[in-house]
Structure 1
Amino acid sequence: MVRIAPTVLSHGLHLRPDPIPEIQQTYLGTTDVQFLATLLLAVLVALSLGTASRIQAAARRRYGRQIAEASSVAFLGAVVAAAVYAFSVIWHVTYVLEYTLSSVMIDRWLAAQQLVTVGIMVGAYLAMRFVNRSIDKLAQTRALTKHQSEVAYHVTDVAIVAFAGTVILTLWGIDLTNIFIGAGAITAVVALTARETLTAMLAGFILLFSRPFHVGDWIEVNESTGIVTDVTIFTTKIQTFDDRNVLIPNDEVTSSQLINYSENDQLRVAVDVGIDYDDDPQHARSVIVDAVEDLESIKNAPNPQVITTAFGDSAILLECRVWIADPTMRRKLDAQTDVIEAITAAFEREGIEIPYPQRVHTSRGDALQVDGIGRAGSGVPTVDD
């Protein structure tokens, strides 16, 4: 409730000390003098503006930009206040300023509420800055990932603002029961209309705490395979190996099969090769091991392994297994290329044949002969017929 100070309204002693009424009666009694004084006041204001520019330039050179701007604003504020007061004195309208000041005067309880409110807001701002800086320091030590830092920013800021808002509303005597009931109803409506968004957001928090992958990891989700470039509260961004950017909702990431190829420090790479049925599989296996064990693109431990997997239509199938360190798609492709080239060169030296797909056709005793002569007594005409 606004309360007007009676002393200000009654006499206006705050704005008209003893010399002012005498000056008004002696020197500012006519309109011509008032116009001349107003013109002089305008000239002084213009000179003050030029002085403010020089003060700002000097302060900027000596103290920096921020202090220069602050000093310039303070000086201009004082000039404007003095000019307004001088104008009201010249034209005998100080009562306007008196009424304005009296209308904004408040009681001590309201002033205390306002001061405490400002203090709570400033404290909340400083708390958010402190917490955010602490999160940045943790991120620099790699204790938190980029995704975790972003989520932590939002969670802590919302928590601090909610706490400060609750205290301020309680200070001003606002009943929080109705607010909580309304917030609950709004939350129910939002939950029904934006279920997918809320599900994705909750999944983002699950990814925050479970940490199944980090930015830069090579992962596979359903049919999308690539490098994680960004993780937000709602989506995970993957750059595939054909340079496509795929946005996957976090709820799909948490509810689908996820493969993280970068989780371990090694990855097994398998290369299939076939040999002719006339070749010795045991000899071929030893040739493959000797050919690939010294390649720089694969690890020495575990050692390369070769197993016989199946009888194919045209070949006996072997599988060469090697391991690479620090898995990436480029390292995997390099290892496959080196293994295939090494096996090809070793088979050529050893005379081991990699057969082409082929079929062998043979005839039965009662089958139609391919030389044009049919079965005897079958009634099938022959070439001689």
Structure 2
Amino acid sequence: MENEAIEQASAGWSWFVSNSMNVLYAIAIIVVALFLAKLAKRFIVQIANSKPSLDDTLFEFLGSLVFYIILVFAGLMVLERFGITTTSLVALIGAAGLAIGLALQGTLSNLAAGVMLLLFRPFKVGDFIDGAGVFGKVDAISLFTTDLVTFDNQQIIIPNSELWGTKLINHSHFEDRGVDLTFGVSYGTDLKKAEKAIRKVLSAHDKVLETPEPFIAVDKLNDSSVDFLVRPFCKGEHYFDLRYSLPQLVKEEFDRQKIEIPFPHRKVIMAK
């Protein structure tokens, strides 16, 4: 009986020592994993902070993703240390991840598109864009949606997948913009006189750039008019100033110089 008690005490002590080492090992793994996870996240965020061209939102997300991945691997190592087989657990997590991915397919598609938009930056906050059938000013870019503000002061929230997967026009990408306008004159008009009148209006406008030089040329010979294509250049922020002020100024100049602006008409011949 005495020997049996000694053997039980020895086995209990061995179990305590073994599990104590496992507990210490697990604590060490968790501490090291937390340190490495925070270090990795801080490193990724600092990459974005060091380069203004990179988006902070994307790198905050990537930093958090790396942080939790390191912690998951640390948890699996702790379970292995205590003799728990993690193969089935990993398979279960994978199956659960697949089911969640299928259920959130649309959301994940927007997330992937958001990462691509923030990484390649086809537009930024403050740009005027035309995408997904909407034109407006970019107010905010998140991982899932992009917020636009229209000219009539409406907020439009667009899923990122719709912007990334379709044609997108960024009207603010280049500093200088060309403004395409069409002005029609009658067939009896002296074309050189009309061109001179248009150039006079453009040269007097303070928002029209001298370089690149404005483009003026006859574009079409319509049924009742000769159409000029006029393309002055301006800074991007002045685009709409020119777009909506030049037609009136050209009309007023044509009136002063007695240049006729034709309107559609139809000639009817009555048979006797």
Deviations 1:152-189 (A, max 9, x none): 23332233223322332333332221012112222332
2:159 is matched with 249
Larger Rg belongs to: 1
C-alpha distance 166-281 of structure 1, shift in aligned 2 (>3 A): farther
1:162 is matched with 72
Unpaired runs of at least 5, structure 1: 1-105, 369-385
Residue 194 of structure 2: SS of its match in structure 1? helix
Residue 123 of structure 2: SS of its match in structure 1? coil
C-alpha distance 191-133 of structure 1, shift in aligned 2 (>3 A): closer
Query: Does 2:7 align with 1:107?
Result: no
Mapping of 1:1-385 within 5 angstroms? Answer: 107-140=16-49, 141-325=51-235, 327-328=236-237, 331-363=238-270, 367-368=271-272
Deviations 1:52-107 (A, max 9, x none): xxxxxxxxxxxxxxxxxxxxxxxxxxxxxxxxxxxxxxxxxxxxxxxxxxxxxx93
Instruction: Please say if residues 221 and 259 of structure 1, whose CA atoms lie closer than 8 Å, have aligned partners that are also in contact.
Output: yes
What is the percent sequence identity of the aligned residues?
27
Q: Which moved more, 1:121-130 or 1:166-175?
A: 121-130
Instruction: Please say if residues 306 and 321 of structure 1, whose CA atoms lie closer than 8 Å, have aligned partners that are also in contact.
Output: yes
Instruction: Please say if residues 147 and 230 of structure 1, whose CA atoms lie closer than 8 Å, have aligned partners that are also in contact.
Output: no
Quote the offset at 1:315 in angstroms: 2.4
Distance in 2 of aligned mates of 1:122 and 1:295: 68
Quote the offset at 1:287 in angstroms: 2.2
Residue 220 of structure 1: SS of its match in structure 2? strand
Residue 352 of structure 1: SS of its match in structure 2? coil
Distance in 1 of aligned mates of 2:251 and 2:80: 80
Query: Runs (4+) of structure 1 moved beyond 6 Å?
Result: none
Instruction: Please say if residues 292 and 342 of structure 1, whose CA atoms lie closer than 8 Å, have aligned partners that are also in contact.
Output: no
Instruction: Please say if residues 181 and 231 of structure 2, whose CA atoms lie closer than 8 Å, have aligned partners that are also in contact.
Output: yes
Residue 243 of structure 1: SS of its match in structure 2? coil
Instruction: Please say if residues 136 and 149 of structure 2, whose CA atoms lie closer than 8 Å, have aligned partners that are also in contact.
Output: yes
Instruction: Please say if residues 197 and 254 of structure 2, whose CA atoms lie closer than 8 Å, have aligned partners that are also in contact.
Output: yes
Greater relative contact order (Cα 8 A, min sep 6): structure 1 or 2?
2
The structure with the largest strand share of the pair is 2
The residue identity in structure 2 corresponding to 1:355 is P
The residue identity in structure 2 corresponding to 1:275 is V
Unpaired runs of at least 5, structure 2: 1-14
Distance in 1 of aligned mates of 2:96 and 2:112: 18
Distance in 1 of aligned mates of 2:138 and 2:116: 17
C-alpha distance 137-189 of structure 1, shift in aligned 2 (>3 A): closer
Instruction: Please say if residues 297 and 338 of structure 1, whose CA atoms lie closer than 8 Å, have aligned partners that are also in contact.
Output: no
Distance in 2 of aligned mates of 1:291 and 1:169: 79
Quote the offset at 1:254 in angstroms: 1.8
Distance in 2 of aligned mates of 1:215 and 1:152: 20
Distance in 1 of aligned mates of 2:103 and 2:17: 47
Instruction: Please say if residues 55 and 119 of structure 2, whose CA atoms lie closer than 8 Å, have aligned partners that are also in contact.
Output: no
Deviations 1:14-43 (A, max 9, x none): xxxxxxxxxxxxxxxxxxxxxxxxxxxxxx
